[in-house]
Structure 1
Amino acid sequence: MSTSSRFIVVTIGLVIVFGGIFGWKAFEFRMMQQQLSKEKPPAVIEAVQAGTREWVPSLNSVGSIRAVNGIKVANELPGVVETIRFESGDMVEKGDVLVELDVESDRAALETRRAEAESARRTFERVSNLVERNAVSQAEFDEAEAAYDAARARVREQEALLRKKILRAPFDGKTGLRLVDQGEYMPTGTPAVEINMVDPIYAEYSIPEKHLSGVEVGDRVTVSVAAYPDRVFEGEISAINSSVTAENRSVRVRATLENGDGALRPGMFADVRTLEPEPREAVVVPRTSVSFNTYGDFVYVLNENEEGELVTERRSIETGAERDGVVEVASGLESGERIVANGLLRLRAGQRVQIADEDDRPGATVEDSGSGAAQGDG
């Protein structure tokens, strides 16, 4: 076979191969077009109705728990620990003995002072009798009286020193960990134990100065702590600082909370909500029904088209506070409008949808205001 014949055969073969490939691709493309031209069934979704609730606006802050009274009990005088009369974690009352230091030498010194005071008393009485008969001078009487007064003062001084060798609870409270051991020498100022008054207890936090006009003593607060994530502690504002902190233009606020079971402890980190006194009606929807977006939050509202089918409408909304799984809608949505409850990522605007069986979706509606008040950020 000549060279030209072989070239013709190869060319025909290539045409057949590439023609088959192009033909197959064209067939696939036609099949894809047919599939796309087929009407897709409606997406099955869960729906929810926007409702209204009594919404209590609040101001969120962070702060810490602080004891009404909290100190470390320390000794004013040095000494050796003779007796410890408490256990770590005890509840104590004001005046209860906590630690006794060795006072043997101090008691001996007190007996000496008392003996000196008794001798000075007798001398003063004798001089008093003699001065009435002009047997001694007024100067001798004054000297005896001064000596007696000084002796009594030394007795009281020694008694005070003895009392300082006994460490007592300065107020009702709960003890922390014991910091000293029996037989230990305690230099002056050595902490023996920490005591905190834990009922009631304070929550202290700061608010921006721009919110100062909306906060007053007596306003209700709720407090949450990490140790009890499912529990909310309630109290009220008991004091507001008289000045504004210059560094961050904020005002310190103190709230008082009941703490009968001692759950709250000093030093805890606290999330504090300051509640406004008057609730207001607000449109609310479940959090799962809102797409939070950098360029604006939105929901999918359900509308009927001309054929009576449900289609989605992407509706931009302005959201407010979030509380207990629901979000306040400040604008863009009316109470009673139906929206997609969840799964927004798989939907698009104008898409046909079908609502799942109502019985299969427990809790898929937002109750009206009769269901109770919700709290949210103002």
Structure 2
Amino acid sequence: MKLVVRFVLALLLLGVIFGGIFGYQFYSMMQAGGPPGGQPPVNVMATEVSEQDWQGVRNAVGSLTAVDRVSISTEVAGTIEQLAFDSGDTVSAGDVLVILDDEVDQAQLDGLRAEAELARIEFERAEELRPRQAISQSEFDESRARLDSAIAAVQTQEARTRQKTIRAPFDGVLGLRRVSVGQFLAPGSDIVELRQLDPLFVDFTLPERFLPDISVGQALRIEVSAYPDTTFNAEISAIEPGISEQTRSVSIRGTVDNANGQLRSGMFARVAVQDPSSRQVLAIPETAISFNTYGDFAFRINETDEGLVTERVQLQTGERRNGLVEVVDGLAAGDQIVAAGLLRVRPGQSVTIDEENASNLDPAEVTEQ
């Protein structure tokens, strides 16, 4: 009997304790202004759905390519006597890069010039004797042929000697040298790479359905990872006349100014093809949208008799640009929505708007809270 009494008293004590706890929570909720079972209003940042003028754009990825690129080599064999450049030098067309030992060639050239001089003297003597019939016509012709042959031999040797001096074929920037003074070079040996970096080409592709929307001279915007906060202007300079049978895409080449030397050939580039036309779109910040496999949605803020209340709205979205998302369907211009912090908001929840921060809000710079 005593055991039963003790058990009943313990149950009563537990009931008093838990009743006090739940009673305090109910009292606190009522003091905060919320109804029984409800939640207090959540302070949120809000923004309005705005109508913006967006210029049409086609996005692609591509690579920067040097306008001219060549591996400097030698046409004739020889030993390097002098290197007239350093790795990374900027050179102009015609600048001397490498001089090969040409002592033997110069000696041969001197001998050929002497032979040519002798042939010239003999021909001049033949010209004097021919009018007096002192030599035959065939002897005169042979004298002239020997002179022409000697002159041709001199010109050939001069050209061969000039090949021992290797010059830059165009303006550009040199790469890393691959040779040293005293090294013997066989014909075709690589010496250094030369690239023209101003301007640069940007090569990319677009699906064939966009072919009617592109033309030579059309503006491009280029972005590279090395300079994330910089946009480079370019324009389309050539369009491949055929379509790739493997990818069904068209190859496009643009030209980008690189006077400041920031860009390098081989860089990965994000390309935006600017369309001359523009269109009106409804745009909201990316952080105002919940993207998931069940569809995209946002929280619209409605004004009711009980205050500001959220409504979950299913969206059909379109293009994304600079932190903004195009709203195709689901919202109207002027609708007020929760700009950030969607994890703290539920459908039908009372909210208050952070007016102090909302006045300085840039929708494209809002971050999730």
- Structure 1 residues 15 and 182: alpha-carbon distance in aligned structure 2, compared to 1, 3 A threshold: farther
Residue in 1 aligned with 2:350?
352
Residue in 2 aligned with 1:187?
186
2:220 maps to 1:221 = yes
Task: Please give the per-residue CA displacement for 1:207-240, whole angstroms capped at 9, x wherever unaligned.
Answer: 1111111111111111111111111111100000
Instruction: Check whether the contact 1:47–1:340 (CA below 8 A) recurs between aligned residues.
Output: yes
Give the CA deviation at 1:31.
6.1
- Distance in 2 separating the partners of 1:333 and 1:355: 19
Instruction: Check whether the contact 2:39–2:349 (CA below 8 A) recurs between aligned residues.
Output: no
Amino acid at match of 1:158: Q
- Structure 1 residues 76 and 306: alpha-carbon distance in aligned structure 2, compared to 1, 3 A threshold: same
- Once the two structures are overlaid, the 10-residue window that deviates more, 313-322 or 252-261, is 313-322
- Distance in 2 separating the partners of 1:60 and 1:38: 50
Instruction: Check whether the contact 1:65–1:267 (CA below 8 A) recurs between aligned residues.
Output: yes
- Distance in 2 separating the partners of 1:364 and 1:23: 54
- Structure 1 residues 132 and 290: alpha-carbon distance in aligned structure 2, compared to 1, 3 A threshold: same
- Distance in 1 separating the partners of 2:357 and 2:321: 25
Amino acid at match of 1:123: E
Residue in 2 aligned with 1:296?
295
Instruction: Check whether the contact 1:114–1:155 (CA below 8 A) recurs between aligned residues.
Output: yes
Residue in 1 aligned with 2:311?
313
Give the fraction of aligned pairs with identical amino acids, expressed as a percent.
Answer: 42
Give the CA deviation at 1:258.
0.8
Residue in 2 aligned with 1:272?
271
Count, aligned residues: 355
Amino acid at match of 1:331: D
Instruction: Check whether the contact 2:323–2:363 (CA below 8 A) recurs between aligned residues.
Output: no
Instruction: Check whether the contact 1:49–1:365 (CA below 8 A) recurs between aligned residues.
Output: no
- Distance in 1 separating the partners of 2:9 and 2:238: 88
Spell out the pairing of 1:89-128 with structure 2 (5 A cutoff).
Answer: 89-128=88-127
Residue in 1 aligned with 2:327?
329
- Once the two structures are overlaid, the 10-residue window that deviates more, 115-124 or 31-40, is 31-40
- Structure 1 residues 211 and 20: alpha-carbon distance in aligned structure 2, compared to 1, 3 A threshold: farther
- Distance in 1 separating the partners of 2:68 and 2:168: 12
SS at match of 1:71: strand
Amino acid at match of 1:322: R
Residue in 2 aligned with 1:281?
280
Instruction: Check whether the contact 1:51–1:366 (CA below 8 A) recurs between aligned residues.
Output: no
Give the CA deviation at 1:305.
1.9
- Distance in 1 separating the partners of 2:359 and 2:185: 66
Amino acid at match of 2:361: A
- Structure 1 residues 14 and 71: alpha-carbon distance in aligned structure 2, compared to 1, 3 A threshold: farther
- Distance in 1 separating the partners of 2:329 and 2:135: 102
- Structure 1 residues 315 and 99: alpha-carbon distance in aligned structure 2, compared to 1, 3 A threshold: same
Residue in 2 aligned with 1:199?
198
Give the CA deviation at 1:199.
1.1
Give the CA deviation at 1:92.
1.2
Give the CA deviation at 1:23.
8.5
Instruction: Check whether the contact 2:88–2:175 (CA below 8 A) recurs between aligned residues.
Output: yes
- Distance in 1 separating the partners of 2:242 and 2:72: 32
Amino acid at match of 2:60: S
Task: Please give the per-residue CA displacement for 1:144-195, whole angstroms capped at 9, x wherever unaligned.
Answer: 2221111111111111111111111111111122222122211111222211
Instruction: Check whether the contact 2:82–2:98 (CA below 8 A) recurs between aligned residues.
Output: yes
- Structure 1 residues 89 and 365: alpha-carbon distance in aligned structure 2, compared to 1, 3 A threshold: closer
SS at match of 1:204: strand
Amino acid at match of 1:325: G
Give the CA deviation at 1:95.
0.8
Query: Out of 335, 338, 343, which is 2:341 matched to?
Result: 343
SS at match of 2:169: coil
When the two structures are superposed, what TM-score results if normalisation uses the length of structure 2? 0.89
When the two structures are superposed, what TM-score results if normalisation uses the length of structure 1? 0.87
SS at match of 1:276: strand
Amino acid at match of 1:235: A
Residue in 2 aligned with 1:363?
360
- Distance in 1 separating the partners of 2:188 and 2:284: 59
- Structure 1 residues 147 and 40: alpha-carbon distance in aligned structure 2, compared to 1, 3 A threshold: same
- Distance in 2 separating the partners of 1:232 and 1:32: 60
Give the CA deviation at 1:289.
0.9
- Structure 1 residues 24 and 242: alpha-carbon distance in aligned structure 2, compared to 1, 3 A threshold: same
Instruction: Check whether the contact 2:222–2:271 (CA below 8 A) recurs between aligned residues.
Output: yes
Unmatched segments (≥5 aa) in structure 2: 30-35, 365-369
Give the CA deviation at 1:254.
0.4
SS at match of 2:62: strand
- Distance in 2 separating the partners of 1:105 and 1:263: 45
2:151 maps to 1:152 = yes
Task: Please give the per-residue CA displacement for 1:16-62, whole angstroms capped at 9, x wherever unaligned.
Answer: 65995699489759965974934321111111111122212211111
Task: Please give the per-residue CA displacement for 1:72-105, whole angstroms capped at 9, x wherever unaligned.
Answer: 1111111111111122222211111111111111
SS at match of 1:213: helix
Residue in 2 aligned with 1:374?
none
Cα RMSD for the two superposed structures: 2.4
Residue in 1 aligned with 2:48?
49
- Once the two structures are overlaid, the 10-residue window that deviates more, 347-356 or 136-145, is 136-145
Give the CA deviation at 1:348.
1.5
Spell out the pairing of 1:209-248 with structure 2 (5 A cutoff).
Answer: 209-248=208-247
- Distance in 2 separating the partners of 1:139 and 1:46: 106
Instruction: Check whether the contact 1:49–1:366 (CA below 8 A) recurs between aligned residues.
Output: no
